[in-house]
Structure formats: structure tokens, C-alpha cells
Structure 1
Amino acid sequence: MEMEFSNFIHDIIEKDLEEGVYDRVHTRFPPEPNGYLHIGHAKAIWLDFSTAEKYNGLCNLRFDDTNPTKEDIEYVESIKEDVRWLGFDWEDRLYYASSYFDQLYEFAIQLIKQGDAYVDDLSADEIREYRGTLTEPGKESPYRNRSVEENLDLFIRMKNGEFPDGSRVLRAKIDMSSPNLNMRDPVLYRIAHVPHHTTGDKWCIYPMYDYAHPISDALEGITHSICTLEFEDHRPLYNWVIEKIGFKNPPKQIEFARLEVSNMVTSKRKLRQLVEENFVDGWDDPRMPTISGLRRRGYTPEALKDFCLKTGVAKSKSIVDIAFLEHCIREDLKLKEPRVMAVLNPLKVVITNYPEGQIEMIDIENNPENPEMGTRKVPFSRVLYIERDDFMEDPPKKFFRLSPGKEVRLKGAYFIKCEEVIKDEKTGEIIELHCTYDPATKSGSGFDGRKVKGTLHWVSADHGINAEVRLYDYLYIEDEAGGEPKLNPNSLEILSNCIIEPSIADAKPGDKFQFLRHGYFCVDTKYTTKEKLVFNRIVSLRSSWKNN
């Protein structure tokens, strides 16, 4: 039986269907193409599309592209790619608010004729000053009571390009004393002599988001307009616009708490700053909370959708621990991806009593948690690499890995004992270990029944593949005093001399593996070449999240 998770939006929809408010469900995902989508948008995409699927309805993808000064076709294409990658299909329902510019203009003419809109000559600063505050009412513009004829004339001339940017706006005539600042004669149109990515130079006036958005929903026959809590105070304005224009059975706006994850900052302004100041190597940097960054890092759409489902849909704000997101990633990968041996910080081991030139193929399981994935052959030879951290010359009491005179097991192979430590004469650094092996221990225990506590992964020196491995930490560190999260200067560590078993030789960008004892890794899609494999760590193996 599938577990139910909280979703008050579905409760509202089911009540609407039961009471006949709507006889269908039609949602939409309406991004502004002014940046790359982030993990918060992933939840909105999942909610809009999965809700439509649940009720056998439809979901549109619509770009609310009303501000050409900040929008770009690059963002349009990236958003389409993100939605597809998450596994959702808008079919033939791809729309643009800019496609409705003619209708939006005619509706504005209608509002002027009804006495519900006027052309204002106040500057942006003056409009802000006249607006008032949360505790003080606003003041009416001296241009508020222009005649319908004068407003029509000025608005048409605004459209015809007779006035410079910022010289005039079209405002709704509502209530300058409203306790809701959004209802204090909000701006509906502004002048901007800027070409648009879909309409070119046709327009020099552009509708404001709060005007275009509800009309676009109504024109598309949306039933439930799902959005995040910051738009709750905008709902009275949306309803006012729709009512004044005269739409019947308009969309119902429902707000939910946006997805906030610890150690992640999703402000578009801050993300753009990271890109422009080259702190990251683009919007798809694997440290970024963008969907493209998560995709490049190796996150899966299945894990993200599972995370969205299990965090539920609520009305109250909360922050989800990033450890729970990582838990969902591990849960998705653990049965899917093969295990391989990778040595990230190599230390050379020579097995002095192993025959020179001999190569032995060792059978090792691909995934112990999924026996159906079978086994692979891994070459074993006289010279190997182990992790430098797996050896200590003077170990503490409970160090169960390799040390002088001690025995460990090599994964899937033999017991070895450290006989000699070779050091650099100048620096004293350990550069090589000389060990012996016991041929009778291939099964995992010695012929005399002895056992060892430590098992090490290893890679044959003659067969290993050189690779670069990128270890990512959180881009932001939570402030212990409760202030703004701070940038982590150590969010990326690049290891350039890693050795990985030869089974990954044909790995392609995007392929995923579990590196034994290190975590899950993905072949990087940006820097991997024919000559060089680059791996991103998706997530470590240990989880700090507890399912209580």
C-alpha cells in the first residue's frame, strides 16, 4: 500500500470536484525565463504536473516572459530541458505570456474605458513615496482623475513609442488606503524600448507580471493556479484583475510553502552573483542548487521527485535538512549502481612474494545489495595501490587497517602483511610498502582459521585508470548564530591522481558508480574528454539523517 503524504492542495481540489466548482483539473508551471531553475522550482514542477496526472487532468508549461530586460532564450531552453529531465511532458501545451500581448493590451483599454485604470506621470521613486507604508495609507497621484479620453490617448501614444522609458505608466485604480500594499493602484504597464525574445520590436510597453499572470491563467482555462506563499498577498490583485475583465469561473489560486533546504541558497540574485563573479563555473556547477547543477552532479529525477513527495505540501514555512535530500539520493542509487574500487590518494604496495608478471582475475560482486547485477573480473598483480589513509606506521590501538607487521585482507583477494616501509630519503614521506601475501587466504580466511578485521580496496598498478575526482562540500555553511548562510571557501577539492579499476574504462558522461567506502560518483558531463575521466562525488556513503 502506497504511503500517503500531506498535501492540502489535493484536499481542496477534491472538494472543488465534488461540489462541481470545476469538472476537470488543469494546472500550469509558469516560470519567468530570467535565470536557471533551482531545487525549489523542482518541487513546483513536480506539484503542478503530478497533481494534473493524479486527477487525469492537464498541465501547461508557460513562460511568463513579461520583462525582456532580464529574460533570455538561453533560460527558456534550460527550463524546457529541466522539466523534461524530471520526467514531465507538456505535450502540445507550450505557451508564452508574450503570445497574449495583443489581448492584454485590449484588456487594458477595457479597464481604462471602465474607469479602472489611468496613465500616471509620477516617476518610480515618486510612486514608491506615494504608496505609503504598512502602517500609513498611501496618497493618490495627482494624475489619478484624468478623464477616460485623456488616459486612452496617452496609453495609445505610450504603445506607439512617443514617450521615453520611465516617463509614464498605466496603473490600476483601486484603493490607496488598502491595508494590502499590492492593492494601492499597482502598475499594470511600463514603457521599455527593449526588443523581446519572441515579439521582437513590436512592443515598447510591457505588462507587469501581476497583470499578465492571472489573465494568462484565465485564457488557458486553468482551474487551479498553484503558487508559493510569497504570492499570497498578490491574490486579491489577481482576483480584481480577473473580475474587472469579466472572466467566468476563473482559476482558483492556492499557495503553498516553498521548498527551503538547509545549506542551500536559492535567491536568483545571489546565484547570478556566484556565476558572474566566477565563484562557480556556471549555472550548472555541481555545487549549485540549480536543477542543471544537480543533474550534472549526478542527482536523479527519481530521487528528487521522491524527496518532493516525502517532504509533503504544507502552508507553513519550514526548512528541510539537506541530509534528508542526500538520504533520498542514496536510497535511489543503492540498488541501481555498480560498485567499483577507486583509490583517491594512492600509496604503492609491492607484494614481494607474488610472482612477477603474473596477473590473476578476481571475481568481485557488482552490487552486494542487488545480486542480480552479477560479478566482474578485476585484475590482481604484484604491484597495487591502496589508500594512503589505510596505512599508519604508528597506529592507535583500534586501527584495523594496515601497519608494520599487521595483516589485512584485500577486497575479494588475499591477506597481506606489511614487512617494510620505504621512505623518501629527503622528505621522510612514505612512498612505498613492501608486503607479503598468503596464497591460502583467497577465500577470505587463512588455512589455519585466522581472521583479520580490516578489508581494504585496491587497484592494480598496471591496469588502473587515471582519473580526476572532484569532492564537493556544501556551497553555503549555516551560520551558528542564526544569521545568513556564508559561502564555504572549501566547497570543492580536486584530486588529480586517482586510480580506478579498469572496469570503468568505457564509462560515459553521466554514468554513476559507488566507489567503495567513498560514496556515489558520476562521470562529469562538462570536463570529461576521451583522454581524461572526471568524476563528481554525488553524495557520501554516510547519512546524518535519522528516520524517527
Structure 2
Amino acid sequence: MSNDTTPRSNFIRDLVEEDVATNRFGRPVTTRFPPEPNGFPHIGHVKSIVLNFGLAREFGGRCNLRFDDTNPFTEDIKYVEAMRRDIAWLGYEPDAVYYASDYFEQLYEFAELLVTKGKAYVDSQTDEEIRANRGTVTTPGTNSPYRDRTPDENLDLLRRMKAGEFPDGAHVLRARIDMAHPNMIMRDPLLLRIRHAHHYRRGDAWCVFPLYDFAHGLSDAIEGITRSLCTLEFKDNRDIYDWLVRECGFTDHPPTQIEFARLELDYTLLSKRKLLRLVNEGLVSGWDDPRMPTISGIRRRGVTPEALRNFAEAVGVARKPARTELATFEHYVRDDLNMRVPRVMCVLKPLKVVLTNWPAGQVDELEAPYYPHDVPLEGSRTVPFSGELWIERDDFMEDPPKKFFRLAPGREVRLRYGYLITCQEVVKDAAGEIVELRCTYDPATRGGDAPDGRRVQGTIHWVSAAHAVDCEVRLYDKLFTVPNPDHGDGSVMESDDDTPADFLRFLNPESLVVVPHAKVEPSVARDPIGTRYQFERTGYFVSDPVDATPERLVFNRTVTLRDSWAKVAAK
């Protein structure tokens, strides 16, 4: 699949355009997308993927996929596979695939270089002591008692750390910069730490692992990256990025970091740590649960890669953080599906209709178009029509209020593509529940129009009872009940830790409603699993690619036909 979407103008694109015009870096535009393989990619990553791959494509450059796999405790090959699969599904192919773990040897050599230059030292303080001595934004930090070790002492300790002589936490390698620096990240940041753990790619060969700041900029420099595009939380890290790149000898057109605002989407969490908690605690069915904001979950819900790319482009790239309304995302999903998916009929809450004047045993085959007139696609199918039908229970009211234009006692309505029918009798069970409607049809109104020109306000959908296919319909909705689950109602900042009193209390108990015995028209039984539809008057759906089979149809709701929460939010 190709992506023809051209990135919209933004401040990063303008900078890259200027770089190309002036040949600032002396090499083609080279970007990278550097995810950590510690969870499935989510919709927030889509913005970065579209930006990095899009810029490289637009300016004839390169974009690398590089996994920042420096933490052996949290990483797994399944996350690597998910990332590669999702990037391909979005329509992109990296020019090269790298791993930070590819550079462990080079990074260690840089560590020895820094030690030899007196720019790094081995600190034997505990983590708690290091934190306590870092100072605050208003007070300088305190030098480590080990800061003045000689280069020879530091080199000996560093090599013994690499050889595995020391336990976890015994020593760390720190940059030797300035403990009074106004940017606290520059107060002798940690570069290497001891971790006796199995790495999913390097096995047990390494026990000293680089921290993010050490691996990030130097990996960019090794790969010849031009612009390193990061989100705003890494703005303060730019100083250590530049310092390390310079001190390690990359002085000829080095890469430069630039930051942009990350995607923040209402009713959604984009923390992989918190998403992992939802998975591990069984609050969702997995990383690909259609309620999850992961690309896998969004794909399973029926969203197309084109809709995701269009949404990412529409959100744009800015310098200041801002939240995006979920309605904006849903708009681009509807806008995309509206122009590509067929319309079919499915009844979620069936109510039996018996046409008392229908000829016994007769079955009509009615022609029904798949697409409305404003969609530039053609196609139709025949739908069977018989004397017993299913309609939506919500399309009938025994004592209707004003402006209810659907079926009611004595009222005539239009059956979509079918006939005009009039309700003559309501049948109830012993408990007073309506179980059947007895109606008459007008044979002269085949196709839904009355030859005498009489006007009928209501049109409802239906399926033939004898021909309908049983199916399960899963109605997915927002995973959380508040726009910002980290902040609750906005008045109190919620805890960011993993205690029971945080975001979980805002989980939406109705984020999934399963309708086990819906009735869908028989035409869909011929379609392959994964086909998308608009169920008329109901919403957009997809045949579930995981659970559906030809013998057991399961449909996931992708999105409603309109923003059903707009009125709720207004109230």
C-alpha cells in the first residue's frame, strides 16, 4: 500500500525545507522513528510515524525504524513484531531497521572515550543518594564524593562493570558536567547502569545498559540522522543530546533535535505503562481489544489506515500542547468509511412483524443498492422479503410522543427498499411484553413509494425472518467516562502511579455492550471476514477479524453514524 498523503505545512516541515535548500547537513533528509519495544504502538505513535516517514518521503530522503531497546526488563520481541506490522499496515516501509542494541559496542567505546577525556566518572552512590544530591530547580546539586576519581580509576571500574564483577546498583557511569547547571538533566546525568538481565536480542552478553539520553543522540549520530523529531517532554533533554554528540566527536554537521507537541486525545490514555496495566489486569481482552487506542485495536475495530493518516495530518504539528476532541477522530473515520463501505441492513433488537395479507409462501427478491447516490461507487444485491419480518424494537411505540415517525398502532411506515405497511394489532405475552406486531402491506408500493402520492414520514430497516442470519454485534464505545482520565473531572490532578485510586475509576462500564442475537441480511454471509459495512441507521461495523467465522458472524462497531456523545457532553 502506498501513502500519497503530503504532509501539511508546519514549522518542522518549513525547517526541513530550508535545510534542503541550503544543504545544511550535506546529506539527504534522514529521519527516524525510535519506539521502545515495551508495548503495542498506539494512536499517539501514528502522529510521529506520519511525520517522520512523510517528511522523508516528501523530500526524497530516508526514514529509519530504530527500536530503543535498552531496558531488558520490559522489552519483548512481540512488541517489535507488532510495531513492524502496524507500520506496514499504515502504508510505510522503513529504509532500514536498526536497534539501539546494535550499538552497544560502540556506545561502550564512547563511554571509555568520555572517561579518558575526564568527561565521565563511575559513581558508587546509591540511587537514593544520587537523587537526593541532585538538588532542586532553585538549589544546586551536590558533587558526588566519587566525582574526582582519576580517569584510570574510572576506566578500571567501568571495565569491571562490563565484565560483570559487580551486582546491580553497585555503580553507574555519569557524565561529568555541572551539578549547578540550571537544566537539572545536565547535573551529571547517568549514562550506563548495571543490569544482570537477559536481553531479548543480545541474550546474556551484556550487563551494562545505556540509558535513554546516552543511547538516543549517539544512535542518531551513528545513523546520520539530520533532524531528530521528539515530543515536548524531551525538550530539556536537548542539552545532553548536543553535549554527548559533540563530546563523542560528531562535529561535522551533527544531528539536531527539535520538539513538537504529542497527540493528546480525549477519553483516551496513551501511556503504554497504563495500557499494559489494562491488559495485565484483564480489564480489556488484550492489546488488540477494539476499545484500546493501540493501532492493533483500532484496526480490529474497522478503522482504515487512510483514516488514521488523514486524522494525523489534520491534527497537525505544533509547538504547544493541546488536547484533541474524540469527535475529530471519529469525523475522519466516518468521512473515510462513508465513501467506501456498502450499506446493508441489520436488526440489533428484533421484534417480529407478521404481514397478515401476505400471500402464503411467497418470497420477493428486492433490489437494494449498496451505495447512496453521493458515493461514486456502484453495486447492489437482492434482499429476500417474506410475510414474517424482524424490525428494530426501538422502531415501534405503542403510545408514541410527537415527532416519533416510526411504527405505531394504526400508523403506516415505509420499509427500506420494500413496501408500505400499517400496524393493525399488537400481540403481548402474559407479562405484557410486546412479542409480535400484526400488520398489512400495500402491494402497490413495492420499492417503498405510494402510486397515489400519499406521504409517509417514517422509513425503517428490516430483515426477512426466514432468511436472516444470526450474528453477534459488539457495540464499542469510549473506554473512559471523562475526557482526561489522568485528571478526572479537571479539578483535581489524579495520581500518576499504579495505585487503585487513579485512572481505573473512570473506566466506562458500557464501553462494550454485546448484542448476542442480532439478525443481519443474508447477503453478508458471502463476504470475507474483515469486510466493513454501514448498518443502515445504526453505524459503521466490521466483521471481526479475530473471532468471526463463516459459521459464526461477529461484527464490531467502528463508529456511530454521528457523535452520540455530543448531547451528553452538552448536558
Normalised TM-score (structure 2) = 0.93
- Which one-letter code corresponds to 1:187 in the other structure? L
Structure 1 counterpart of 2:429, from 415, 424, 431:
424
Residues 46-90 of structure 1 show CA distances to partners (whole Å, capped at 9, x for unaligned) of 100001011011100110111111111011100101111110001
Identity of aligned residues (%): 56
Residue 310 of structure 1: how far off its partner (Å): 1.1
Q: Secondary structure at the match of 2:237?
A: helix
Residue 3 of structure 1: how far off its partner (Å): 9.6
Structure 2 residue aligned with 1:231: 234
- Which one-letter code corresponds to 2:260 in the other structure? F
Structure 2 residue aligned with 1:221: 224
Q: Secondary structure at the match of 1:477?
A: coil
Residue 400 of structure 1: how far off its partner (Å): 0.7
- Does structure 2 retain, via aligned residues, the 8 Å contact 1:107–1:245? yes
Structure 2 residue aligned with 1:514: 534
- Which one-letter code corresponds to 1:67 in the other structure? N
Residue 213 of structure 1: how far off its partner (Å): 1.0
- Which one-letter code corresponds to 2:92 in the other structure? F
- Which one-letter code corresponds to 2:326 in the other structure? I
For 1:445 and 1:36, the matched residues in 2 are separated by 52
Residues 77-113 of structure 1 show CA distances to partners (whole Å, capped at 9, x for unaligned) of 001011111100014x010110111111111000000
Q: Following superposition of structure 1 onto structure 2, how do residues 219-368 of structure 1 map, counting pairs within 5 Å? A: 219-247=222-250, 248-368=252-372
- Which one-letter code corresponds to 2:395 in the other structure? D
For 2:295 and 2:380, the matched residues in 1 are separated by 34
- Does structure 2 retain, via aligned residues, the 8 Å contact 1:365–1:371? no
- Does structure 1 retain, via aligned residues, the 8 Å contact 2:531–2:543? yes
Q: Secondary structure at the match of 1:154?
A: helix
Structure 2 residue aligned with 1:102: 105
Structure 2 residue aligned with 1:399: 404
Structure 1: where are the runs of 5+ without partners? Answer: none
For 1:318 and 1:467, the matched residues in 2 are separated by 41
Residue 67 (structure 1) aligned with residue 87 (structure 2): no
- Which one-letter code corresponds to 1:104 in the other structure? L
Distance 1:280 1:74, change over 3 A: same
Structure 2 residue aligned with 1:79: 83
Residue 533 of structure 1: how far off its partner (Å): 1.0
Residue 538 (structure 1) aligned with residue 543 (structure 2): no
Structure 2 residue aligned with 1:408: 413
- Does structure 1 retain, via aligned residues, the 8 Å contact 2:7–2:55? no
Structure 2 residue aligned with 1:469: 473
Structure 1 counterpart of 2:441, from 410, 413, 437:
437
For 2:144 and 2:380, the matched residues in 1 are separated by 77
Structure 2 residue aligned with 1:15: 18
For 2:333 and 2:147, the matched residues in 1 are separated by 56
Structure 1 residue aligned with 2:145: 142
Residues 158-208 of structure 1 show CA distances to partners (whole Å, capped at 9, x for unaligned) of 000000011110110011001111101111000011111111111111111
- Which one-letter code corresponds to 2:467 in the other structure? H
Residue 489 (structure 1) aligned with residue 493 (structure 2): no
- Does structure 2 retain, via aligned residues, the 8 Å contact 1:342–1:458? yes
Residues 130-156 of structure 1 show CA distances to partners (whole Å, capped at 9, x for unaligned) of 111112111000000001111011000
- Which one-letter code corresponds to 2:465 in the other structure? A
Q: Secondary structure at the match of 1:505?
A: helix
Structure 2 counterpart of 1:52, from 56, 74, 80:
56
- Which one-letter code corresponds to 1:398 in the other structure? K
Structure 2 residue aligned with 1:384: 389
Q: Secondary structure at the match of 1:144?
A: coil
Q: Secondary structure at the match of 1:28?
A: strand
Normalised TM-score (structure 1) = 0.97
- Which one-letter code corresponds to 2:257 in the other structure? Q
- Does structure 2 retain, via aligned residues, the 8 Å contact 1:62–1:95? yes
Moved more, 307-316 or 438-447: 438-447
- Does structure 1 retain, via aligned residues, the 8 Å contact 2:339–2:376? no
Residue 115 (structure 1) aligned with residue 135 (structure 2): no
For 2:544 and 2:37, the matched residues in 1 are separated by 26
- Does structure 2 retain, via aligned residues, the 8 Å contact 1:52–1:58? yes
For 2:32 and 2:293, the matched residues in 1 are separated by 23
For 1:252 and 1:134, the matched residues in 2 are separated by 26
- Does structure 2 retain, via aligned residues, the 8 Å contact 1:347–1:385? yes
- Which one-letter code corresponds to 1:372 in the other structure? L
Residue 530 of structure 1: how far off its partner (Å): 3.5
- Does structure 1 retain, via aligned residues, the 8 Å contact 2:352–2:389? yes
Residues 387-429 of structure 1 show CA distances to partners (whole Å, capped at 9, x for unaligned) of 000000111122110011110010011000111111112x110
- Does structure 2 retain, via aligned residues, the 8 Å contact 1:6–1:314? no
Structure 1 residue aligned with 2:519: 499
For 1:292 and 1:540, the matched residues in 2 are separated by 20
Q: Secondary structure at the match of 1:233?
A: coil
Q: Secondary structure at the match of 1:14?
A: helix
For 2:550 and 2:382, the matched residues in 1 are separated by 24
Q: Secondary structure at the match of 1:449?
A: coil
Residue 481 of structure 1: how far off its partner (Å): 4.2
Q: Following superposition of structure 1 onto structure 2, how do residues 182-201 of structure 1 map, counting pairs within 5 Å? A: 182-201=185-204
- Which one-letter code corresponds to 1:188 in the other structure? L
- Which one-letter code corresponds to 1:471 in the other structure? L
Q: Secondary structure at the match of 1:225?
A: strand
Structure 1 residue aligned with 2:173: 170
Distance 1:482 1:536, change over 3 A: farther
Q: Secondary structure at the match of 2:533?
A: strand
Moved more, 485-494 or 108-117: 485-494
- Does structure 2 retain, via aligned residues, the 8 Å contact 1:519–1:538? yes
For 1:151 and 1:473, the matched residues in 2 are separated by 57
- Does structure 2 retain, via aligned residues, the 8 Å contact 1:31–1:64? yes
- Does structure 2 retain, via aligned residues, the 8 Å contact 1:37–1:291? yes
For 2:207 and 2:529, the matched residues in 1 are separated by 44
Residues 302-321 of structure 1 show CA distances to partners (whole Å, capped at 9, x for unaligned) of 00110111111100000111
For 2:62 and 2:171, the matched residues in 1 are separated by 39
Residue 524 of structure 1: how far off its partner (Å): 1.0
- Which one-letter code corresponds to 1:47 in the other structure? L
- Which one-letter code corresponds to 1:94 in the other structure? V
- Which one-letter code corresponds to 2:23 in the other structure? G
- Which one-letter code corresponds to 1:324 in the other structure? T
Residue 216 of structure 1: how far off its partner (Å): 0.7
Report the RMSD for the aligned CA atoms in angstroms: 1.5
- Does structure 1 retain, via aligned residues, the 8 Å contact 2:7–2:51? no
Q: Secondary structure at the match of 1:412?
A: coil
- Which one-letter code corresponds to 1:74 in the other structure? K
Aligned residues: 543
Structure 2: where are the runs of 5+ without partners? Answer: 483-487, 495-502
Q: Secondary structure at the match of 1:389?
A: helix
